Structure 1
């Protein structure tokens, strides 16, 4: 038993020598850790989007563009979201590397499926509009943070935000906030002004959370 314990709890350096790229270090996640992080981030993001959709609100970024098309046409949200993300994959493949592209593709595909089928397995009885807007924005913020920290994104603007942070040091949260506010300006043609106010509150909560918590000088793992 003692010999087994020594083998199991061997030093991290020896594990890295034997495990290679699979082993975690202070600056590197294992594939299993990445998978868990991407799945968790996708679930939280999908829950926040479903909550905002139930309330008739919006969010920003590519998800917000999908909301604009969804409210204008009534088409399936998950399918719209998936199609809108396709052009951004070129940037991911060209600039962000294969690992980022694979993890992001997996996250976007899973998020598209979850939001497409969410009404069949998740329904809300009552949510206060202000509370729902803030909680929905916070859930999406947590989800995106998990994705960013595992070198992935929810696609679209998230890919651009991560690229700009890596290339120029621009905070991903602030990039997301600017694009979100631009998208929300287009919401005046599809939803009521009072819903836009709540949507802006949710977007501000989400992006303030990201702006404060997603910093390369505080989190170095990839």
Structure 2
């Protein structure tokens, strides 16, 4: 029998060191999240007060309702936004999670404070088109940053998630229906020009949110069928630095067995992929899927010695 002397003090010290490192990383991660939520909330407050509100252009959701009430009463927008969203903090805490509720309540508190501080300032521009475009882009950047980092800035997003489970409509359709109702009210309260400008703002903000959350360099899936699959796979790894997967497929009509190349590419790499196919096999079958919301793992870095 062999006896091994074990230094338990050393093991304990190493374990404590790993725990401290883990806590340190988590703290850095939380600080980064709060910074991003703060930045997003500030951007939304700036977009509202310096572009939209004083030009009577609305955002959607609870913020849009708050804008309408603030225009018809002496109550400040920041206070209304915070108070009207309180029930949704509670719903978010119970249905989605504690961290989501914290990020959301903190983000809305920051946004409300910014709108209160900027309330008496003149808008950056009186041109309605410029206010619509820059207001929508600023809102989109702000909301996108907050959503990407685990929070929300409007209670209607939480409502749509809850109602979505009980109706045949998607979350996006529910939010759109709510906002159309709000913009219709805006048309009656103010005028229809403002309602249409508000709709443009909403559309621009929606597209910018999509870009911020998914990134400009969004991923797509590509399937390729060719007799020269090995050469194509090699060039994809060499020129694009992407790992490829070979799948086996059987044709329903011919019964022939084919090798299918599966690879994840960005929208900017799609042209290069087509160029590779044109050089090796112009008759290769290529199917490129739509944007993918998330891609994780896998070896996407270029390999010095590719394995075929």
Please give the range of the TM-score, normalised by the shorter of the 2 chains. 0.7 to 0.9
Match runs of 1:82-121 below 5 Å: 82-120=82-120
Asked if 1:35 corresponds to 2:34, the answer is yes
**Deviation at residue 111 of structure 1 after TM alignment:** 1.0
**Deviation at residue 22 of structure 1 after TM alignment:** 4.5
**Deviation at residue 56 of structure 1 after TM alignment:** 1.4
- Which stretches in structure 2 are left out of the alignment for 5+ residues? 1-16, 215-291, 297-308
Task: Return 205-214 or 73-82, whichever deviates more.
Answer: 205-214
**Deviation at residue 184 of structure 1 after TM alignment:** 0.9
**Deviation at residue 127 of structure 1 after TM alignment:** 3.4
User: Hey, what's the Cα distance between the residues in 2 that align with 1:185 and 1:21?
Assistant: 50
TM (norm. structure 2) is 0.57
**Deviation at residue 214 of structure 1 after TM alignment:** 3.3
CA radius of gyration, larger in: 2
| The structure with more strand, counted as a fraction of residues | 2
TM (norm. structure 1) is 0.77
Alignment partner, residue 55 of structure 2: 55
- Whose RCO is larger (CA < 8 A, sep 6+)? 1
| C-alpha contact 1:62 1:156 (8 A) present in aligned 2 | yes
Alignment coverage as a number of residue pairs: 200
| The structure with more helix, counted as a fraction of residues | 1
Give the RMSD, CA atoms, in angstroms: 3.1
Tell me: CA distance 1:83–1:175, structure 2 relative to 1, closer, same or farther (3 Å): same
Alignment partner, residue 198 of structure 1: 197
Tell me: CA distance 1:66–1:78, structure 2 relative to 1, closer, same or farther (3 Å): same
- Which stretches in structure 1 are left out of the alignment for 5+ residues? 1-14
Alignment partner, residue 19 of structure 1: 21
Alignment partner, residue 81 of structure 2: 81
